[in-house]
Structure 1
Amino acid sequence: MRSKTMTGGIEKAPHRSLLYALGLSRDELDRPLIGVANSANEIVPGHVHLDTIAKAVKDGIRNAGGVPMEFPAIAVCDGLAMNHEGMRMSLPSREVIADSVEIMATAHPFDALVLIPNCDKCVPGMLMAMLRLDIPAVLVSGGPMMVGRHKGENADLISVFEAVGKVKRGEMDEEELEDLTASACPGCGSCSGMFTANSMNCLSETIGLALPGNGTIPAVTADRIRLAKQAGTQVMELLKNNITPRTIVTEKSVRNAVAMDMALGGSSNTVLHLPAVFHEAGLDINLDIFDELSRTTPNLCRLSPAGPHPIQDLNAAGGVPAVMAELAKKDLLHLDALTVTGRTVGENLEALKAASRNPEVIRPIENPYAPEGGIAILKGNIAPEGAVVKQSAVVDSMRVHSGPARVFDSEEEATTAILSGKINPGDIVVIRYEGPKGGPGMREMLTPTSSIAGMGLGGEVALITDGRFSGGTRGAAIGHISPEAAEGGPIALIEEGDEIAINLPERSLELKVDEATLETRRAAWEPRQRELKSSFLKRYREHVRSAAYGARLDDSSSS
């Protein structure tokens, strides 16, 4: 056992003394020691209940003969960090989470791990740590929040973001806004919709590193507790059979994850996280695989914000396995890929008798919502290395669009202009110097995109940025433009009033300015950096790579 390097032999008597101080018995020191990384805190709604999940995990470990040893991990709430300096910390927290789990599991050599994340950066951070450490491990999330209700209709966090614009234009009064605010998020769990947290929790199933049900079983149900207990039991089976994350994660897992992302219409943030996760397994992927599989994988789900269905509807319709079963009908998945159940994807689907129970929530593959996947990769003279759009959330009238650039060098400037009524139908809002280095931290632009929707311009105004978007963003929102402005990317050369042409079917994003003019602007361009007080963000800015490579840290700054 790996833990014997810490507990075995005469020379490790001092180590055992410290473990006895925890209340462990001699018998327990002879059993496998299982690390339980718990990201519970009293700040994030998706994490406030994770002590309950951790207790169930530990019960499962003990029932199977292991000794659970819990340790903490941080987690940022993107909703609470939105539209202020705190959002600069969100994406960088992914690296800190991965590093901290690696530190704890190396300093204290556990035999196996169960990792308990839920919200946005915690899920990919823990997946990265699993693959980096490559010891038997299972991920089990805290589950999605139930959908809220307001005036007899579904409501979620995005409803509140968009309602701010409605108040500004006189369509809603402040009292109703506060009523909506109090009812949109009814309790614990990751926000109800195919936003980033739920996208990544669903894809964790597809990759094979989480048990079936991980992405969709609601946080408040007994089924979620049972799933957590099962995860604790199952990690002992993985340890017994020496099944590690890198045994599971192969090229087949990569293709399965990206195909499912397209079928589900996942958050555009998955295009940042999946490359960073798979890099830890030595599987470097770029944006091309997303575009390739988007063209061949139909979009089967229109979950909030792309459609009316919350995550609980997906769970009731059969969850991720039911979506996988539809894709399998057209041979769009590798059914022989291994998973943490100890069985293959195909064997899991057969055991679960996976099938859609609601053809509106999970469309039959013969009648998809769209023939292409939910995400598209655009390229052109604005984004030579690529840009990302959640095309399943773009109205048909904006799939091909040209308009004048309205240029802003920060999120705050753009938001002020939008809510002040200074943006007109047909405009293309450009927000730059918000990329991984330029931000730094690549903030989410949910406030400006929600403001555009709330001002009634969601079907008439596009937004492009070298920043990123919340999974809750809808509309013609194109992000991750690479290279970013801070590195002298072409987005830095756009001027007010320039014509920009967007064409999703052709996957193009073009600045209609001749090359000679661009060369003149390029010669005059001067690098700029935001002044930072944070030493952490200064280090991050120095080492972070382009969004086209998952905004991961370069190898010189990570272990």
Structure 2
Amino acid sequence: MLRSNLKPGSTSWAVRRTQWKFLGLSEEDFERPKIAVINTSSTLSSCYIHLDDISEKVQEGIRRAGGVPFEIRTTAPSDFITNAGREGRYILPSRDLIVNDIEVMVEGALLDGMICLSSCDKTAPAHMMAGARLNIPTIIVPCGYNKGGMCGKAFVDIDDVFESVGKISKGDLSVDQLTDMTNVGITTPGVCAGMGTANTMHILAEALGMTLPGIAPIAANSPKLYEFIERSSRRIVEMIHEELTPRRILTVEAFENAVRVALAIGGSVNSLRHLSAVAAEAELDVNIVQVFERIVEESSLLVNVRPNGPDHIEDLEQAGGAMGVMKQLEDKINQGILTVSGRTVGENLQELKEVDEKIIRSSNDPWRKTSGLVILRGNLAPEGAISKASSAPEDKQFFEGTAKVFNSGTKAIEALEQGAIQPGDVVVIREAGPKGGPGTLLTASHFIASLTGAGMNEEVAVITDGQNSGLNRGILVSQIMPEAAEGGPLAVVKEGDAIQIDLINKKINVLISDEELQNRLEEWVPTEKEVPRGWLKIYQKVVQSGNKGSILLE
């Protein structure tokens, strides 16, 4: 019995039947699985511009497989478009807006399953969160990465554009030259082409078992993507008949697999928050921060895709992708975990016969013997913080410097442009977390990109209770917990304090006595911040701490 088949003669049945008959549903359609096609389409961003065509193909595939598709559109946040207003504060809160949008439309209509078209950073985690919450058959379809173009004799992509702004203030690049780069930085639809948050979460969706095996990463609008679209469209109908739901897939062991993959690929630091959020929506009793800490001790960097190294995301795709990474981790991962394919991880991996070890190294011959991501603790981060250690030079894994404190990423950028940031500084950007923003300030990542463009990212460290982009490079620590707005120690760091970052021993401390730190915390008074009425004000009141994935209160 499909839950979408309402009781004949009831009010809900009668009015729904009337509407759907007008839409062209046949008598047979009423007995078929009703499937939501979650389409985060938008003409605001190149990340989403191809999704309408994909949605049409998915709907056609569902009909051929015996289902009835209904397209549902949600908000479509892009880190490089919807970051302009309020210092990018809308970006993280948009993730949870998508989750609730899906709940309203899919649960309100009692649809039987959903296929989610995931693109930019916040959509893949939001789609998995919604699947975990509603617990109806769900498939994630990563919709691919974009490609750059030639600027003169040099290849340029969006990553290069992102980091080149800082070269202007240093005099190494003119605005006209940067304009030329923007003209060719993106030549196809899709997400940013490095190991940023979008590609990381596409890969981790596969590692969790929420995509068909072999799909991530994938080039947007490629023949391979359209093959997966057809297969996913058929598979979601089968899953409904099999009653294969996300909570049968999203087990603690599945998250352990995903964390192993995140560490091996040197994925985005934002994967910590997003995996925590998906686990919370699945109502799992697991602390993802602690899972990272436990597994990191036996992990190493197997993939060297930008910003970690010189390789490109298409190199990883051709070398074996997420499946290739899991194949190299075969002796460590949980192979008995069920996936949306209806087969286990181990059964899926049997299909992959060869991995290009020039790109995806083995555990015996890694790019680095340490993992790509590390969890740090210390008197500045008693509940943890995260760093992409693989984006920092191997000889810069220990850094001690003097604090320069800002409550705004924009202010930090101004200081950099004015020459107020010097080698040996530790730039502190606080009041930038989910509550303090409210919503994480994306200008923190803009500052880091400018720092890189200015050639200072190996001489200046950056720490924040907000987030940085998965594309950022340098000596970086983000998501310091508790955040400053919750009275975390970062709130009482003073200009000139000595701060020590030890990525090898996984420590982050302000070098003052315990007594001095305690006195400062006792004297601390929360910053009064006027937040205009609207979504951000609502978000500030209900968002939970970072170690709970910054989900909304239940």
Structure 2 match to 1:385: 383
Q: Which residue of 1 aligns with 2:249?
A: 248
What aligned pairs does 1:102-117 form with structure 2 within 5 A after superposition? Answer: 102-117=103-118
- Count of matched residue pairs: 551
**Does structure 1 conserve the Cα–Cα contact (< 8 Å) formed by 2:114 and 2:139?**
yes
Q: Secondary structure at the match of 2:339?
A: coil
Q: Kindly state the Cα deviation for residue 113 of structure 1 after the two structures are TM-superposed.
A: 1.1
CA contact (8 A) 1:6 1:15 kept: no
Residues 164 and 554 (structure 1), Cα distance of their counterparts in 2 relative to 1, 3 Å cut: same
CA contact (8 A) 1:83 1:412 kept: no
Cα deviation, residue 151, structure 1: 4.4
SS at match of 2:390: helix
Alignment of 1:16-55 (within 5 A): 16-55=17-56
CA contact (8 A) 1:217 1:312 kept: yes
Aligned positions of 1:157-196 closer than 5 A: 157-196=158-197
Matching residue's letter, 1:197 = A
Question: Contact 1:375 / 1:389 at 8 angstroms: preserved in 2?
Answer: yes
Are the equivalent residues in 1 in contact too, given 2:142–2:218 (CA < 8 A)?
no
What amino acid sits opposite 1:372 in the alignment? Answer: T
Task: State the partner residue of 1:325.
Answer: 327
**Contact 2:112 / 2:137 at 8 angstroms: preserved in 1?**
yes
Identity of aligned residues (%): 38
CA distance in 1, matches of 2:521, 2:35: 55
Q: Structure 1 residues 4, 383: closer, same or farther in 2, change over 3 A?
A: closer
Task: Call closer, same or farther: CA 1:365–1:30 in 2, change over 3 Å.
Answer: same
Counterpart of 1:289? 291
**Matching residue's letter, 2:395:** S
The equivalent residue for 2:440 is 442
Gaps of 5+ in 2: none
When residues 10 and 486 of structure 1 are mapped into structure 2, their CA distance, relative to the original with a 3 A threshold, is closer
Partner amino acid, structure 1, of 2:334: H
Structure 1 residue identity aligned to 2:406: F
> Once the two structures are superposed, what CA deviation does each residue of 1:61-84 show, in whole Å capped at 9, x if it has no partner?
111111111111111111123364
The CA distance in 2 between the partners of 1:116 and 1:429, in whole Å, is 38
SS of match in other structure, 1:387: strand
Tell me the SS of whatever aligns to 1:516. helix
C-alpha displacement at 1:393, in angstroms?
A: 0.5
Could you list the per-position Cα deviations for residues 274-305 of structure 1 after superposition, in whole angstroms to 9, with x for gaps in the alignment? 01001111213231111211221221111111
Contact kept, 8 Å, 1:339 with 1:345, in 2: the verdict is yes
Q: TM-score, normalised by structure 2?
A: 0.96
Amino acid at match of 1:346: G
Q: Which residue pairs with 1:268 in the alignment?
A: 269
Matches within 5 A, 1:27-106: 27-82=28-83, 84-85=85-86, 87-106=88-107
Contact 1:39-1:72 within 8 A present in 2 as well:
yes
Letter in 2 for 1:412: T
Mean CA deviation greater in 194-203 or 11-20: 11-20
Q: 1:6 to 1:42 in 2, by over 3 A?
A: farther
Describe the superposition over 1:486-526 as per-residue Cα deviations: whole angstroms up to 9, x where unpaired.
11111111111110011111110010112332233233321
Asked whether the 8 Å contact 1:7–1:13 carries over to 2, the reply is: no
Equivalent residue, structure 2, for 1:305: 307
Could you say which residue in structure 2 is the equivalent of 1:156? 157
What amino acid is the match of 2:28?
Answer: D
1:371 matched residue in structure 2: 369
Residue correspondence of structure 1 range 347-366 to structure 2 within 5 A: 347-353=347-353, 355-357=354-356, 359-366=357-364
Change beyond 3 A, Cα 1:209–1:194: same
Distance in structure 2 (CA, Å) of the matches to 1:534 and 1:476: 36
Judge conservation of contact 2:115–2:138 (CA < 8 Å) in 1: yes
Structure 1 length-normalised TM: 0.96
The verdict on how the C-alpha distance between 1:490 and 1:299 changes in structure 2, with shifts beyond 3 A counting, is same
State how far apart, in whole Å, the 1-side matches of 2:3 and 2:418 are.
Answer: 60
The residue type equivalent to 1:108 in the other structure is A
Describe how 1:341-490 pairs up with structure 2 within 5 A: 341-353=341-353, 355-357=354-356, 359-444=357-442, 445-490=444-489
Aligned partner of residue 400 in structure 2, secondary structure: strand
Q: Give the structure 2 partner of residue 139 of structure 1.
A: 140
Provide the C-alpha distance between the structure 2 equivalents of 1:545 and 1:51, rounded to a whole number of angstroms: 34
Measured after TM superposition, the shift of residue 270 of structure 1 is 0.3
- Point out where structure 1 has 5 or more consecutive residues left out of the alignment: none
| 1:148 shift after superposition | 3.6
Change (3 A) 1:539 1:494: same
Tell me the amino acid that sits aligned with residue 297 of structure 1: S
Give the superposition deviation at 1:9: 4.9
* 3-state SS of 1:379 partner: strand
User: 1:380 Cα deviation (Å)?
Assistant: 0.6
Q: Indicate conservation of the 8 Å contact 1:56/1:226, yes or no.
A: no
- Match for residue 201 of structure 1? 202
Root-mean-square deviation (CA, aligned residues, Å) is: 1.6
SS of match in other structure, 1:374:
coil
Query: How far apart, CA to CA, are the structure 2 residues paired with 1:517 and 1:351?
Result: 59
Offset, 1:530: 2.0
Check conservation: 1:143, 1:219, Cα contact below 8 A: yes
Of stretches 285-294 and 447-456 in structure 1, the one that deviates more from structure 2 is 285-294
Q: 1:8 to 1:304 in 2, by over 3 A?
A: farther
Q: Partners of 2:204 and 2:35 in 1: how far apart?
A: 24
